[in-house]
A and B are shown apart, each in its own frame.
Chain A
């Protein structure tokens, strides 16, 4: 993972850790905002409907009051018929104003009130018909008011409800909200939605007709959100016109009614995302700074460890060479064999020292991968390590997988890694013991394990066993570069390196690599 990716991950982690709760709270806030907005819109529509219903009720009540006044003033007048006839001039909404007595012929009675209703009016009770459409299509209702100044008589009239049309059509909520008015039977009698007006004249039921009947009974339980008559979801507020049983509903497309809340939600979400992006950007930048500083510090630490290792090892070598020089300065021929052995040994040690550094400097990314049969490879490695093992008094064994097991590997580097593990195992083993190279096939993987019966490794050392310059052996040419180098090589092969160790019972190092098909089968597959 490069520093940029690492800094990005660090920044995202920091941002998520900090902003996730904020985002969660924001999401909850947005949900609450949406719900409150809907309930607020419905309340507003209900209020408009309520005001409309009140005004319609007040209009009808006003007309009836006018008729009461007329009935009181004119009914007892000898010229009552003419005075009542001319009421229409001053109150255009009142028509066919007539005085009805006990002997009135049926033709003189209001068309939409039954005879018994008229009789009830003559008896002192005001009566009102349902809303009906007159022959010319305008809404009207008939009413009879007791003529107080002429007992046993009533003044009847026709209310022209054109004003109801006008009033309902004038109600506008937002850009598309409108009002509808229904009579007791759920028949549409006025509509602010132009597309529904034909239903007023034809008497056809509209989708809200059933709801209107229910709302007249229990307005609080009338639905407030449903598919509207124009094919869009609407929010609705219902109200009942006093004393009439008519209902008024004010509808507004939900998308329009909730647009402010939606806008607020979008803005809130955008702000949160912008904050998150800003946080990540700032975090990335700061992480890059921190990582750069860490890298500098790490380089100094590494240099220090290298220097410590080199100082320790080369110091030891220098001390031996100084002793050897002292022996040479004595010019004593008896010392010659010892001087020769010392020089030979130190040269070999320094050569290994240089080789370790050479491995360290090698670029493991430029692998030259070739098919490698792991059993044969293990046998080859054993042969290469045999002289050293023999010198150390340790025997080497091989446990092969028994069937061809192929991997793709850079033979030179993989051999360096395997020999390193073998060399370590031999050096860790007591004389007379055995080190075994084990090859095994595990599902789609190939394993090469080096098993010794040495002292084992202390658990606290296992944690940093593969860190560079962490070796504590400090004997011979061990500068702590061997195992880190092995790990580097194995990982470059898309493999993994692991160790199991029990103090006093030995250690097992495992190199696990992806298994491949045999070269011929692979070639055939590629060919096909």
Chain B
């Protein structure tokens, strides 16, 4: 018996200690934080949404999948979905069909329980693509401390200065607690991280990343985000023929090169740029978001040659309110997952503010033929896409495999491994 005990002790001494489950990631973010809710749209609080809430449908690769639905199918009325068994909110209560119905209705869609754990989501009368809409619907249940979510983390405390979430079920070797720390500017956020007061900073520009390279205790993480810089052709002011002429006249690879310093892909061989025929000058606008967007606007104007006219600089809100005053605008649009583009370009879709309409595109979407839809857009382009934007973060080097989500910035954070 004594020998057995000794062997047991020896073996226990040889076994590596389990990695900690209480690792805290303090992320420096910019601006005051809004209260956390399923529908928070602005401020860095949206980073915490990736951890606390899950969407009805979520991007899985280039397609859509779901953790909450066992399956879903199209029917004449819209989509019939079946709740996956065993899903729970962060307080341990089971997810009910009513919770999904409530969440979908809160996003402006119609839904109703269909019995046997199923629900029916009705296609909206404006023709908006239903699956793309469901990818933006967070599932919640109102609770006394705010909206409960089904994600791996839950809210601990929140103020405009700091928002704290913790893991619902601690997992050894994973991040146990995430704190969003508000700062006044990206410069302050970055400085805090370089000084070690926080151990992560996200949404860095490429130039900042250079400053983070080689800093002890930090690693730079890069990934592709869901946005792309895009040249939107205002269909309210430009007819199909003009849009095609502009698409053929603009040297996109060159614009990309001067705007962002590198091209997403090598320029296709044999593509010839066709100069625009003489005509009136086009009025351009750029959304004043960042340097690359502004440079892209200048490059587009130069690419338009003699027809490149006045360049307006507008805010994100003005891009909508002043849409009648420009022919083209350089702005960011969502491009990932590919199906989400339907929210912009399907006839009557909620973000289709240029009132673009392409029956061939709409029909392809209706059939679920995304390749056909993409081809239909290429024939009558409402937009010319540049590179998908790069996401850059600097995070604690004790994290072994950090990556940034292609849709939600921190959607992959629950899987990050912490090295002892």
Contact = CB atoms under 8 A, between A and B. Distances in A.
B215 A197 contact: yes
Given A137-B190, A197-B215, A198-B195, A165 B210 contact: yes
Contact of B215 (A133, A136, A194): A194
B195 A86 contact: no
A266 to B, nearest CB: 31
Contact of B216 (A86, A92, A138, A194): A194
A162 B210 contact: yes
B142 to A, nearest CB: 40
Interface in B194-251: 194-195, 205, 207-208, 210-216, 218
Contacts of A197: 194, 211-212, 215
Interface size class on chain B is 20 to 34
A173 to B, nearest CB: 14
B216 A166 contact: no
A165 B258 contact: no
B302 A137 contact: no
A201 B187 contact: yes
Contact of B191 (A86, A135, A169, A202): A202
Interface in A187-228: 192, 194-195, 197-198, 200-202
A85 interface: yes
B212 to A, nearest CB: 8
A495 B213 CA distance: 81
A169 B207 contact: no
B214 A194 contact: yes
A136 B207 contact: yes
A92 B261 contact: yes
Q: Chain A CB within 10 Å — which of B187, B208, B301 has the most? A: B187
Contacts of B181: none
Contacts of A95: 291
B295 interface: yes
Contacts of B211: 137, 165, 197, 200-201
Q: What is the predominant secondary structure among interface residues of chain A facing chain B?
A: helix
A172 B277 CA distance: 54
A88 interface: yes
A136 B187 contact: yes
A169 B186 contact: no
B298 interface: yes
Interface string A132-152: 010111100000000000000
Q: Chain A CB within 10 Å — which of B194, B210, B213 has the most? A: B194
B190 A86 contact: no
A443 interface: no
Contacts of B302: 86, 89
Nearest to B257: A89
B293 interface: no
Q: Chain A CB within 10 Å — which of B186, B190, B212 has the most? A: B190
Contact of B298 (A86, A133, A166): A86
B298 A85 contact: yes
Given A85-B298, A136-B187, A197-B215, A202 B207 contact: no
A197 B188 CA distance: 13
A195 B295 contact: no
Given A89-B302, A136-B186, A194-B216, A201 B210 contact: no
A194 B185 CA distance: 21
Contacts of B178: none
A89 B208 contact: no
A392 to B, nearest CB: 91
B299 interface: yes
Nearest to A85: B298
B207 A201 contact: no
Given A165-B211, A197-B211, A137 B187 contact: yes
B186 A137 contact: yes
B207 A89 contact: no
Nearest to B309: A82
Contacts of B298: 85-86, 88-89
Q: What is the predominant secondary structure among interface residues of chain B facing chain A?
A: helix
Contact of A162 (B185, B207, B258, B299): B207
Given A89-B302, A92-B261, A165-B211, A195 B191 contact: no
A201 B190 contact: yes
Given A89-B295, A165-B210, A201 B194 contact: yes
Interface size class on chain A is 20 to 34
Contacts of A165: 207, 210-211
Nearest to B188: A201
B258 A135 contact: no
B57 to A, nearest CB: 36
B369 to A, nearest CB: 39
Q: Chain B CB within 10 Å — which of A89, A138, A192 has the most? A: A89
Contacts of A169: 210, 213-214
A502 to B, nearest CB: 87
Contacts of A200: 211
A202 B195 contact: yes
Nearest to B208: A137
A134 to B, nearest CB: 9
Interface in A9-40: none
Given A162-B207, A198-B194, A198-B195, A135 B185 contact: yes
B187 A133 contact: yes
Interface string B291-314: 100010011011000000001000
Interface in A118-171: 133, 135-138, 162, 165-166, 169
Interface string A86-115: 101110100100000000000000000000
A166 B210 contact: yes
A138 B194 contact: no
Interface in B305-357: 311
Interface string B33-69: 0000000000000000000000000000000000000
A74 B86 CA distance: 70
Contact of A89 (B190, B210, B299): B299
Contacts of A192: 214
Contacts of A202: 191, 195
Contacts of B187: 133, 135-137, 201
Contacts of B205: 136
B210 A195 contact: no
B258 A89 contact: yes
Contacts of B185: 135
Nearest to B191: A201
B197 to A, nearest CB: 9
A389 to B, nearest CB: 88
A133 B207 CA distance: 13
Contacts of A201: 187-188, 190-191, 194, 211
B186 A195 contact: no
Nearest to A194: B215
Contacts of A194: 213-216, 218
Contacts of A136: 186-187, 205, 207-208
A202 B197 CA distance: 13
Contacts of B195: 198, 202
A195 B207 contact: no
A197 B190 CA distance: 10
A197 B212 CA distance: 8
A86 B190 CA distance: 30
A157 to B, nearest CB: 15
Contacts of B213: 169, 194
Given A165-B211, A194-B218, A201-B191, 8 more contacts: A88-B295, A92-B261, A136-B187, A136-B208, A137-B186, A138-B208, A166-B210, A195-B215
24 contacts: A85-B298, A86-B301, A89-B258, A90-B258, A92-B261, A133-B187, A135-B187, A136-B208, A137-B186, A137-B191, A138-B207, A165-B207, A165-B211, A169-B210, A169-B213, A194-B216, A195-B216, A197-B194, A197-B215, A198-B191, A198-B194, A200-B211, A201-B190, A202-B191
Interface of B: 185-188, 190-191, 194-195, 205, 207-208, 210-216, 218, 258, 261, 291, 295, 298-299, 301-302, 311
Closest 3 CB pairs of A and B: A198-B194, A194-B215, A201-B191
